A and B are shown apart, each in its own frame.
Chain A
């Protein structure tokens, strides 16, 4: 939806804009005094927060560093030498994770939507489809992802089917898509059900068929509402792409694994972990931003 920043938006940049209005209002002494007080209070709060953070950090550091096993742990988990060696390899592997995320993410959104719509279809013809969709979500939401991956990545090649891939990346991606589609289908379904029945009634009263009403009235509202939980699932998918390494695909985790196997030093795992965190943080922030924006719109009296 286009967010029209209408001329009469009373919300200043961040509430700090000078709210003087268009009359010839002059800031009163009372207001100036209050604002001075608020500023002083804000400065005090910042100072306390900084001090408290510092103390916490120092305490944590001392606890870790003075732990009896620290020197050895430091050697095996935080070796600068191995970190330098691992980083380029891990980043190289990460490219595979990113590609998996993009392709699986797109596939998951499509498949999830198809399953969600299948579950809302009315009419006797669609009975088997409805049952199938329900069974699918029940099964794949319950099946642990790691087991799903093993079955698909290790089981499918064992069948030795003609023309079916044995590529661990493709199979791993398939397994991820299977599991995540089930989750995303539920997210979409919740969105569809959250659209008030009066919207459907209004659409039907205009002569729209059930399908047209779904397509033009219900789904657009459902999807919009579900953007935050969808992004949440995408963040989750992003890190779970690391699990395709169990089939031998050389992603960031597997790249680290190889070095660990050779050196018996665990630093590459830490490197890979941090790289994943670094990748998910922007996405998490983006999710927060979208959610906050939507909350704000709702608070302004918008119904989305």
Chain B
């Protein structure tokens, strides 16, 4: 599947109770690349990710995953979601399950992987992310950074084609942000295709192959990290980045 985009969006429109969140969004994500979505709060970054995973139904436009149009109402949505991993801002771990059960739930129930095999793979992933000793712990016994890393492992356990990261460090204490971003960097090195909505501009600049600035329901500016951060073409992008710099986030 050489260079055909993993994810493609065209003219995506999404409104909530009459207010337009995504007006006309186009996006292409090439395999093994990282796309960072930046923009002010409420600019539609999270909504875009939720639409890509079909957690929200779009009003108009189309989204393709590996060339298959997934916004066609005749498509099996569960099958589509199986190919996309999502990590949420608030972790959304299942509080009544141990870390290991959180991670193995989908492989076992959705993909029919035998328990032993699923657990072995889960332990391997947990080990790699420095959570080897937490397999039998419940989520409420973990720090925010640990919980978020478990959430990443949970999303990876089903070997997704694409990983969506929705402000995954926004709920973390500042000293815990680093450990989570380190994991994302490692995934990039492994060649995982990712789209991340983020307020961590320094990180976006560092890790993203493509940066998209969302504003007013459209992708106002897109380019490499250098282009968007170094030489923004749009006045609104410049203003946004200036505010970010003033807030000490870049």
Interface residues in chain A, defined as those with a beta carbon under 8 Å from any beta carbon in chain B: 1, 4, 6, 198-199, 201-209, 212, 216-217, 220-221, 224, 301-304
Contacts and interface: CB of A to CB of B under 8 A. Distances in A.
Interface of B: 53, 55, 78-79, 81-82, 84-86, 88, 90, 92-96, 105-106, 109-111, 137-141, 154-155, 158
Q: Main SS of chain A's interface residues?
A: helix
Q: Which of A4, A202, A204 has the most CB of B within 10 A?
A: A202
A4 B53 CA distance: 36
A1 to B, nearest CB: 6
A204 B55 contact: yes
Given A205-B85, A207-B79, A301-B140, 8 more contacts: A4-B138, A6-B141, A201-B55, A202-B86, A206-B106, A208-B105, A209-B78, A217-B94
B96 A221 contact: yes
Contacts of B106: 206-208
A208 B96 CA distance: 17
Question: Nearest 10 pairs between A and B by C-beta?
Answer: A207-B82, A202-B92, A206-B106, A205-B86, A302-B140, A207-B110, A303-B95, A207-B81, A198-B92, A220-B96
B92 A208 contact: no
Contact of A202 (B94, B110, B138): B94
A204 B106 CA distance: 10
Contacts of B79: 207
Contacts of A205: 53, 55, 81, 84-86, 88, 155
A209 B106 CA distance: 10
Contacts of A220: 96
A212 B92 contact: no
Contact of A198 (B53, B88, B110): B88
A302 B147 CA distance: 13
Contacts of A206: 81-82, 85, 105-106, 110, 154-155, 158
Which among A198, A212, A216, A304 has the highest number of chain B CB atoms within 10 Å? A216
A146 B123 CA distance: 57
Contacts of A302: 95, 138, 140
